[in-house]
Amino acid sequence: MYDIVIIGSGPSGAHCAKRLSKNKNLKILLLDRRPMDPTSKIIKSCGGLISSHAQDALRKEGMVLPESIKVDPQFHYVKTYDLKYNLLRGYRRDYINIDRLLFEKWLIDMIPDSVERRFSTHVLSIEETTSHFRIQLKSNDTTEWIESSYLIGADGARSILRSTFFPHIPSPKPYIAIQEVYPTTRNHPAYYGMFDPSITDYYAWLIQKKDRIILGAALETGNETNEKFQSLKEKVEKHCDIRLGTPIHREGAFIARPLRFSHLFFGKGKISLIGEASGSISPTSSEGYSYALNTAKLLCDSIEKHGLTSLATSSYDRSAWIIRLSILGKWLKSPGMYVSWIRSLVMKSGFTAIPLPKEK
């Protein structure tokens, strides 16, 4: 019997495991379906940028990014393209460009050996008894049942904990994030953000990492995702003067976009949700690292105070007012980014824009 099982070893799950391990009396298991080794071909579709908010969250937790995780070029501004109106502006932003897989491994490596870790392990089902939870796992060809007193869902946009126990709670709007990686010999010292309502009501991005360039888009689920991504590629080559060529590989993942307060749900009873599983992700930029770290911290603080009880979960839910407030701020900002005519007026005005340096 485990005291805590954490499903998902991404930034929220890994940081939560590290924080909870301070209590040496807790028997903790961290699960992930991914193998998490250097040769793994399972890569989450993610731009891999540490925003200023995520940098603040890391500093508050006393965490300093190793130089080995960072990749060139580093970005200090974003190039914003409105592909509908053919507008271009530059805006000051300070991102840290990272290798996503190395970042996650760094977070996992900080977890003490007292926490049991199982990778390449799928959660097939979860049952609740009168006193604990039973979780059915599959690793390779082996299936087994384990038991736990408390469950933490850090398993992202398609959280099995959320869908199993809280199907009545509205879920954030789902998107499929598609990325293609191409070779490049040019230097692109900016993060590109692109908007076109004919492709998506969200946004697309272009990010260089060493001698590779990543084109990605958050597309509404349903039909024609491949056609819309192809249309994006054609428009990028036409409007952005970037030749993409043949992709090295393609990757994808589901992401969540909270659009109202009911989409934010942090748990009930002896089940807590953190990171994207709780709906905690920026609805304007899909930035999730800061929310992953902050929700993990809030939950661990509540468990430290109240133990593995339903009171800890409700205390965590109350303390998450700061997460709700942060996302409210994003919603208030959203019309200036996602209402086409407002965005075009803002961009044409040049408000807060900076001169764009030439790329080599």
Handedness of CA 304, 308, 311, 316 (dihedral sign): positive
pLDDT band at 158 (very low <50, low <70, confident <90, very high): very high
pLDDT, mean of residues 283-306: 98
pLDDT, mean of residues 317-326: 98
41 has a pLDDT exceeding 60: no
Chain centroid, CA 21 distance in Å: 23
Looking at residue 227, what is its pLDDT?
Answer: 95
Looking at residue 357, what is its pLDDT?
Answer: 75
Looking at residue 45, what is its pLDDT?
Answer: 56
pLDDT, mean of residues 231-252: 91
The vertex-31 CA angle with 27 and 35, nearest 5°, equals 135
pLDDT, mean of residues 152-178: 97
Question: What percentage of residues in the chain have a pLDDT greater than 90?
Answer: 89
Range picked from 217-231, 240-254, 292-306 for highest mean pLDDT: 292-306
pLDDT band at 299 (very low <50, low <70, confident <90, very high): very high
Alpha-carbon distance of 324 to 252, in angstroms, equals: 28
Q: Does the pTM of the predicted model rise above 0.85?
A: yes
Looking at residue 295, what is its pLDDT?
Answer: 99
96 has a pLDDT exceeding 90: yes
Residue 175: CB partners within 8 Å, gap ≥ 6? 200, 202, 218, 219, 220, 221, 254, 255, 256, 257
With contact defined as beta carbons under 8 Å apart, do 206 and 213 qualify? yes
| Domains contained in the chain, CATH given | 2-349 (3.50.50.60)
pLDDT, mean of residues 99-127: 96
256 has a pLDDT exceeding 90: yes
91 has a pLDDT exceeding 80: yes
Looking at residue 240, what is its pLDDT?
Answer: 83
Looking at residue 50, what is its pLDDT?
Answer: 96
293 has a pLDDT exceeding 70: yes
